Amino acid sequence: MQFNVRRFSTLCIAFSCSVIIFTGAVLLLAPHELGWRLFWLDEGAYKGLHQMMAIIFIPSLATHLYYNWKPIVSYFRTKTLKISREFITAAALNLALIALTLTAYNILIDPKDDMAQKIEEFCKEAKR
């Protein structure tokens, strides 16, 4: 039995995306205090798991696109080339969520946040 790269990449996308969605929701909804735990994992473990799954997701997605390029292009040529109501609604929803997220992030981020301090320290050390 031959190893099916197309099936493998699709399954990697499904599994890693599921974990990314779960860990992203946990990190989004978690309290902004130190010391919280959920299902025996702390914030650092959730961040690490989220990032590692993204490392699996991205090359799997690239592989999936490579093996399915013709069907994907064919679909977009026949179904969505016309600027339809669905296209406009999908684009508007995504752009609105991006704008809202970036705006909320800039408003909610605390300049004295631990991560902001670590980034500042790293930049200062890099300049030396």
Q: What is the mean pLDDT of residues 59-75?
A: 86
Residue 79: per-residue pLDDT: 62
Kindly indicate the confidence band of residue 80, based on its pLDDT and cuts at 50, 70 and 90: low
Q: What is the mean pLDDT of residues 15-26?
A: 84
Can you name the residues that pair with 99 across neighbouring β-strands? none
Distance CA 52, CA 19 (A): 10
| Residue ranges covered by each domain of the chain | 1-81, 82-128
The reply to whether the predicted model has a pTM over 0.75 is: no
The rounded distance, in Å, linking the Cα atoms of 101 and 10 is: 28
128, 6, 2, 3: which is closest to 66 by C-alpha?
6
Nearest C-alpha neighbor of 30 from the set 18, 19, 41: 41
pLDDT in tens, 33-56: 667 667 777 777 777 888 888 888
Q: Which residue has the higher pLDDT, 107 or 103?
A: 103
Mean pLDDT across the chain: 76
Angle at CA of residue 8, ends 49 and 21, nearest 5°? 30
- For position 114, what pLDDT does the model report? 62
The upper half-sphere exposure of residue 5, i.e. CA atoms within 13 Å in the direction of its Cβ, equals: 10
**Res 82: pLDDT:** 66
